[in-house]
Amino acid sequence: MRTLVLGGVRCGKSRYAESLAHAQSAAVIVLATATAGDAEMTRRIEAHRARRPAHWRVVEEPLALAAALTQAAAPDRFVLIECLTLWISNLLCQDDPARLESEVVRLVQAWPKLPGQVVAVSNEVGLGIMPVNDLARRFADIAGELHQALAAHSERVVSVVAGIPVTLKPAPQ
């Protein structure tokens, strides 16, 4: 089953996704996309690491997410992607603008075929004002389009608001 967990910054989406992983008996693999570009991001990464049980396997992959996901996903595994919007940011900062488009296409194509439990966490950035610069608008557009594509092929979509998960698309009964 594929689950997309969306929400704003510091809304509790990561803790919610981690609670889904804790509830599984399957082996957990975390695909971490963050890079520590400054002291504040380093602290955020450390906080996430401190919450994870030692037996969860962590694969740090800031760019080639579809390839890492395809390799990690299996019927007896729970894969947690943390997080899609950081991944988009990483790709936007690359010197090769075509890589972003190709990596997004690879992820969207792989998503419906993944075995096992897969949960992707991402920031919902399209609920605020229209960004004033081209890069910010491009980021929001890419994130919104990616969320729509993944949601269409997810069994469950959850929005987390103030720490409360709200199911937007329920899993089949």
DSSP string, the chain: -EEEEEE-TTSSHHHHHHHHHHT--SEEEEEE-----SHHHHHHHHHHHHHS-TTSEEEE-SS-HHHHHHHH--TTEEEEEE-HHHHHHHHHTSS-HHHHHHHHHHHHHHGGG--SEEEEEEE--TTSPPPSSHHHHHHHHHHHHHHHHHHHT-SEEEEEETTEEEEEEPPP-
The answer to whether 22 is a known catalytic residue is no
Choosing from 48, 55, 147, 153, the catalytic residue is: 48
Query: At residue 125, what are phi and psi to the nearest 5 degrees?
Result: -100, -5
**Residues taking part in catalysis:** 48
